[in-house]
Chain A
Amino acid sequence: FRTKTQNFCRNEYNLTGLCNRSSCPLANSQYATVREEKGRCYLYMKTIERAAFPRRLWERVLLSKNYEKALEEIDENLIYWPRFIRHKCKQRFTKITQYLIRIRKLTLKRQRKLVPLRRKIERREKRREEKALIAAQLDNAIEKELLERLKQDTYGDIYNFPIHAFDKALQQQDAESESESDAEKEEDDDEDMDKREFVEADDSDLSDFEDMDKLETSSEEEAEEEEEVEKKASHSKSKGKTPLKGPARRKRPYIEIEYEKETEPTTKTKAA
């Protein structure tokens, strides 16, 4: 068959592989090749005398495993044969032994096993994975699990949230006396102060927000001015400095309104 630059011969007994007058087994009545079968090399010869008997046409000689000995064998079998055929036979034999050696080496190393993918199965798996992802509702599941762990007190004393017991205690003590409630308010203030400090340190870390600057300044102003009025609101706000967009979006309108109220008087005073 033809390629851009060369003709190749399809005949299996061809010596060089090219389609030339000198290397065609059909065109030459005296021809020889080296072929290998199951790792052993054979020398095939064709002579004019046997041209009438196609079954006995190609005579086969087993070559020795030893490289040099095999070359000698080729030489003695093809004695008095044209130089070209002898030379090409030896070349072919050399190439064959080289690739046999390489095969043996490779089989000893780890070989990459190719596993064919089945298209239908791949598509099915992909689709199932998507559906499983939707069914999983990962965020909700994780949040639920974390809240569960909080309830079961695995975190110990790190988070001091007003748990139900504390709420009840608060109510009881409110009913009892004011001084104690004041003390608690002070405690709450202290806690808030602690938390605010804690959180503000956090805020300085989360400074790669564009909007966070606005939020920070506004919250600071609020924190200074509205200490005692809305403890719980500010408490939740100051705690709520998460980078999540949902709650931030919810809280931003609330905060922005107050921001406007506060800046207006300040600008007026500045102008005045």
Chain B
Amino acid sequence: AGGGSGPVGSAAEDGGPSAPERVVFPPTFSVSEIKNKQRRHFMFLRWKQQQRKEKLAAKKKRRKEREALGDKAPPKAIPKTIENQRVYDETTVDPNDEEVAFDEATDEFAPYFNRQTVPKILITTSDRPRGRTVRFCEQLSTVIPNSHVYYRRGLALKRIIPQCIARDFTDLIVINEDRKIPNGLVLSHLPDGPTAHFRMSSVRLRKEIKRKGKEPTEHVPEVILNNFTTRLGHSIGRMFASLFPHDPQFIGRQVATFHNQRDYIFFRFHRYIFKSEKKVGIQELGPRFTLKLRSLQKGTFDSKFGEYEWIHKRREMDTSRRKFHL
């Protein structure tokens, strides 16, 4: 009763919006115990103000201490970011890991990395692609060298795969479309290679990117893969790398970037120029899109009988905000 009457009394004294200088809350008091919504809201605002004041005072004090100490002050604390706080993934690849190196020497991309095969890519869409998807496919084919776009009307994927293998294609990209925008990407390494299914978002075509530049030339671009740390990320990164021919032509000064951040893979295509040894300028050309991995299958595309290496299970995997899989 004492705790209840105290704040009520002070609220009645103050009236509406005016806040007192120092508010003394009894120690057992909690704002949520007031039943009246208006008063509760008011008390909550006051409590918030008080918290802010205390925080400001603490900051000032800390700054004064720091100045007082001068050189002897302890170094500034690093702010916590999601990347700092990331839950440690046990499948993180160590660059010197022998097992991983052995795996990579024997997996499906080994012939590519040993330069035995040249990538040849087939880009196609789902049924009846709309204008945006068609244009996106064309732009994608200019970005990836040695790629061809074919449209299919009602052909089953399972049937075109053996045909592709017969014609010596190494990779198949299917862009799925929904409501006139591309929203999914299936990347399949052909001679019986893994198939990755991505959800694609924020697709920007070339004319939507604000720049005054030009189209990409025919030179083979370089590839940058950023932040693929775990074992899964590593294999996806190799998949992306195997799309591009192994010897980039540096004269072209083009670079395709796959940057993984918090399980989102951002694709950008730039032209760079070195202005000095410490400065480089980049100009964005080519489409851009972001991918999020949905599933990785061991064999080629097969939705019913395929063996899944990894599927994104929302309930199990999305529980923590600081846990990422790529």
B282 and A126 contacting across the interface, CB-CB below 8 Å: no
B275 and A242 contacting across the interface, CB-CB below 8 Å: yes
In this complex, the interface size class of chain B, counting residues with CB under 8 Å from chain A, is: 35 or more
Query: Which of B83, B282, B314 contacts A143, CB < 8 Å?
Result: B282
Which residues 252-287 in B have Cβ within 8 Å of A in the complex?
255, 257, 259, 261-264, 266, 268, 270, 272-283
The complex places the Cα of A179 from the Cα of B275 at a distance, in Å, of 29
B73 at the interface (CB under 8 A from A): no
The complex places the Cα of A247 from the Cα of B283 at a distance, in Å, of 12
B259 and A141 contacting across the interface, CB-CB below 8 Å: yes
A243 and B283 contacting across the interface, CB-CB below 8 Å: yes
Which residues 128-151 in B have Cβ within 8 Å of A in the complex?
none
B189 at the interface (CB under 8 A from A): no
The complex places the Cα of A174 from the Cα of B52 at a distance, in Å, of 62
A236 at the interface (CB under 8 A from B): yes
Which residues 33-85 in B have Cβ within 8 Å of A in the complex?
81-83
B280 and A138 contacting across the interface, CB-CB below 8 Å: no
Which residues 217-271 in A have Cβ within 8 Å of B in the complex?
236, 239-240, 242-244, 247
B276 and A135 contacting across the interface, CB-CB below 8 Å: no
The complex places the Cα of A129 from the Cα of B267 at a distance, in Å, of 13
Q: A242-B273, A242-B283 are in contact. Are A129 and B226 (CB under 8 A)?
A: no
B272 and A146 contacting across the interface, CB-CB below 8 Å: yes
- Binary flags per residue of A107-138, CB closer than 8 Å to B gives 1, else 0: 00110000000000100011011011101101
B281 and A135 contacting across the interface, CB-CB below 8 Å: no
- Binary flags per residue of B269-309, CB closer than 8 Å to A gives 1, else 0: 01011111111111100000010100000000000000000
The complex places the Cα of A163 from the Cα of B211 at a distance, in Å, of 32
Query: At the interface with chain B, which of A6-14, A61-69, A153-161?
Result: A153-161
Query: Which of B214, B264, B268, B281 contacts A244, CB < 8 Å?
Result: B281
A180 at the interface (CB under 8 A from B): no
B251: chain A residues at CB < 8 Å are: 158
B255: chain A residues at CB < 8 Å are: 142, 146
B250 and A155 contacting across the interface, CB-CB below 8 Å: yes
Query: Which of B212, B270, B277, B290 contacts A162, CB < 8 Å?
Result: B277
A128 and B226 contacting across the interface, CB-CB below 8 Å: no
Minimum CB distance partner of B202 in chain A? A129
A132 and B262 contacting across the interface, CB-CB below 8 Å: yes
Give, as a whole number of angstroms, the nearest-CB distance from A105 to chain B: 13
The complex places the Cα of A149 from the Cα of B81 at a distance, in Å, of 27
The complex places the Cα of A258 from the Cα of B221 at a distance, in Å, of 38
B201 and A129 contacting across the interface, CB-CB below 8 Å: yes
Give, as a whole number of angstroms, the nearest-CB distance from B139 to chain A: 19
Q: A126-B201, A135-B83 are in contact. Are A147 and B280 (CB under 8 A)?
A: yes
A208 at the interface (CB under 8 A from B): yes
A145 at the interface (CB under 8 A from B): yes
Minimum CB distance partner of A134 in chain B? B261
A136 and B266 contacting across the interface, CB-CB below 8 Å: yes
The complex places the Cα of A186 from the Cα of B132 at a distance, in Å, of 55
Give, as a whole number of angstroms, the nearest-CB distance from B209 to chain A: 12
Query: Which of B83, B213, B274 contacts A150, CB < 8 Å?
Result: B274
Minimum CB distance partner of A149 in chain B? B222
B264 and A129 contacting across the interface, CB-CB below 8 Å: yes
The complex places the Cα of A133 from the Cα of B257 at a distance, in Å, of 14
Minimum CB distance partner of B324 in chain A? A132
Q: Which A-B residue pairs are the 5 nearest by beta carbons?
A: A242-B281, A136-B261, A161-B277, A132-B262, A132-B261
> Which B residues contact A (CB, under 8 angstroms)?
81-83, 154, 156, 201-202, 211-214, 222, 224, 226, 250-251, 255, 257, 259, 261-264, 266, 268, 270, 272-283, 290, 292, 314
Q: Can you spell out 28 A-B residue pairs with CB atoms less than 8 angstroms apart?
A: A121-B314, A132-B261, A132-B263, A132-B264, A133-B266, A133-B290, A136-B259, A141-B226, A141-B259, A142-B257, A142-B270, A142-B272, A143-B272, A145-B224, A146-B255, A146-B272, A146-B282, A147-B280, A205-B214, A236-B276, A239-B273, A239-B276, A240-B275, A242-B273, A242-B281, A243-B211, A244-B282, A247-B279
A133-B266, A135-B83, A138-B266 known; 15 new pairs, CB 8 Å cut-off, are A129-B264, A138-B257, A141-B226, A142-B259, A146-B224, A146-B272, A147-B278, A158-B250, A161-B276, A162-B277, A239-B274, A242-B281, A244-B281, A247-B275, A247-B279
